Amino acid sequence: MNAPHRRGTCPGLSAPMPTGDGLLVRFSPLESMSLAAFAGLCAAARKHGNGTMEISARGNLQVRGLTPRSAPLFAHAVNTFEIAAAQGVSITVDPLADDAERVIDASQLGVDLRTAIAQAGRALAPKISVVLDGGSHLHLDALSADVRLRAAAMPQGPRLHASIAGDAASATPLGFLATDAAVEIVLRLLGVIASQGREARAADVLRKHGIAPFRCVVEGLVEPAPALPARAPADVIGRHPLRDGSIALGVTLAFGHTHADELIALAGVAAEHGARALRLAPGRGLLLLGVPRAKAAALADAAERRGLITRPDDPRRRIVACPGKPACASGLIGARALAHQLTRHLTPSHDLVHISGCGKGCAHPGTAALTVIGTENGCGIVRHGSARATPEFYVDPGRLVAEVMRFGTPGDEAVHA
């Protein structure tokens, strides 16, 4: 085991992070998993941890409740099931390589880039991230990253559009590059960030020096171009056609977590309905791959009975909640317990509610129509703001639902009982 986890770093398999309910590990499987391997992974999480499993907004898997003794055993189990886990810089690749609409398969590009970054040995900030978007309809526009590449179909063949620091809407565009130059160009862009110090991010470079340092290192390799047109929001939930005529059925975890037993059961049900594999996806999602079209509806019904979210209009999607107390050592309120209480009072069209166990806002760094913050004074209430804002007033956790119903949310859209 490595030294104790340092705040600001990422809790990988070999460097778990202490939390309120033990050690936590986070890792990203590089490929799809067989249903048997996934079930084995979940059984290992139950055996070596407390059984709580989470999928992050970026599609990473988190396992909670490990101990200094059991964490290495869990890491060994991951290797036993031949689940390749990403190490180092966070590189997110669109999860549907077999999507009938994708422009390129970015999976191999992700492998090559990880290898090149490891070989370069640059000291980068722990939270540095790269997005590789192959151009499928299940795109990655909503994810923020230091460096973004998005595939685009061009008359001369597929090209990649590069941008810096942000999601698809906010990132600063660089322009188009050839696919075979992608690894070299990303390395150069990351080098610019690394030159500003071990904690630097792309946004820091833009703020201090503008886009010029990035343009300088890719001159002659990138053709300047504006941002690409916006796309309709992507939603992992639903049926996604694959090239072989089968379906990838997308589901998500309520509030991003569940127990290992429920996921083991889901793997069994998916196998009974003809699914051949499973892959994690951004948006706290799971993609059940290779489902025969005729069985997709029945599998969705079975997954819903297991507590998974299978409909885009599920009101649980209107709440973002971190674990909170007692799972998180920083949590001052039971965020997910409160989220479950509040769900039945929300409509599918309700404005977003963020319940944060403390003022860090890990689950949703951005703003929400209504943000509930755990404080020493109870639940702090913020309207049209983030968890880092100063609460307007405070309520007792036992009165939260009544207060939310009484005050409604910004925009005069009330919560309906």
Give 134's pLDDT tier (boundaries 50, 70, 90): very high
Q: What is the DSSP letter of 11?
A: -
Among 39-48, 55-64, 216-225, 400-409, whose mean pLDDT is lowest?
400-409
Residue 109 near residue 182 (C-beta atoms within 8 A): yes
pLDDT cut 90: percent of the chain above it: 73
pTM: 0.88
Instruction: Return the pLDDT at 247.
Output: 95
Instruction: Return the pLDDT at 32.
Output: 93
Cα dihedral 130, 15, 115, 192 in deg (nearest 10): 50
pLDDT cut 70: percent of the chain above it: 95
Instruction: Return the pLDDT at 36.
Output: 96
Give 352's pLDDT tier (boundaries 50, 70, 90): confident
For 119, residues 6+ apart whose C-beta sits below 8 A from its C-beta are none
Residue 78 near residue 13 (C-beta atoms within 8 A): yes
Please give the Cα distance from 196 to 46 (Å, whole number).
42
Residue 404 has pLDDT above 90, yes or no: no
The per-residue pLDDT for range 325-340, each reduced to its tens digit, is 998 989 999 999 999 8
- HSE toward the beta carbon, residue 118, CA cutoff 13 A: 11
Nearest 5°: the CA angle 253, 232, 89 is 60
Closest-CA residue to 382 (of 401, 368, 366): 368
For 391, residues 6+ apart whose C-beta sits below 8 A from its C-beta are 373, 375, 380, 381, 382
Give 9's pLDDT tier (boundaries 50, 70, 90): low
Give 407's pLDDT tier (boundaries 50, 70, 90): low
Instruction: Return the pLDDT at 100.
Output: 81
Rg, Å, the chain Cα set: 21
Fold of 316-407: Sulfite Reductase Hemoprotein; domain 1 (3.30.413)
Q: What is the mean pLDDT of residues 11-32?
A: 89
Of residues 289 and 27, more confidently modeled: 289
Residue 411 has pLDDT above 70, yes or no: no
Give the helix, strand, coil percentages of the chain, each rounded to 5: 30, 25, 45
Residue 190 has pLDDT above 90, yes or no: yes
The residue written with tokens 């983030």 in the block is 386
For the chain, the domains span 17-87+236-312, 96-224, 316-407
Instruction: Return the pLDDT at 88.
Output: 81
Q: What is the mean pLDDT of residues 303-318?
A: 93
Please give the Cα distance from 254 to 306 (Å, whole number).
11
Give 408's pLDDT tier (boundaries 50, 70, 90): low
Give 178's pLDDT tier (boundaries 50, 70, 90): very high
Instruction: Return the pLDDT at 10.
Output: 63
- What is the average pLDDT score of the chain? 90
Instruction: Return the pLDDT at 416.
Output: 30
Among 19-23, 271-275, 290-294, whose mean pLDDT is lowest?
19-23
The per-residue pLDDT for range 82-126, each reduced to its tens digit, is 888 887 889 999 998 888 889 998 999 999 999 999 999 888 888
Q: Which CATH class is domain 17-87+236-312?
A: alpha beta
Among 2-11, 61-70, 220-229, 253-262, whose mean pLDDT is lowest?
2-11
Whether 316-407 and 96-224 are alike in CATH topology: the answer is yes
The per-residue pLDDT for range 191-212, each reduced to its tens digit, is 999 999 999 999 999 999 999 9
The residue written with tokens 């709580």 in the block is 52
Please give the Cα distance from 258 to 252 (Å, whole number).
10
| Backbone torsions φ then ψ of 250, nearest 5 degrees | -95, 130
Angle between helix 35-48 and 70-80 (nearest 10) = 170
The second-level CATH assignment, the architecture, of 96-224 is 2-Layer Sandwich (3.30)
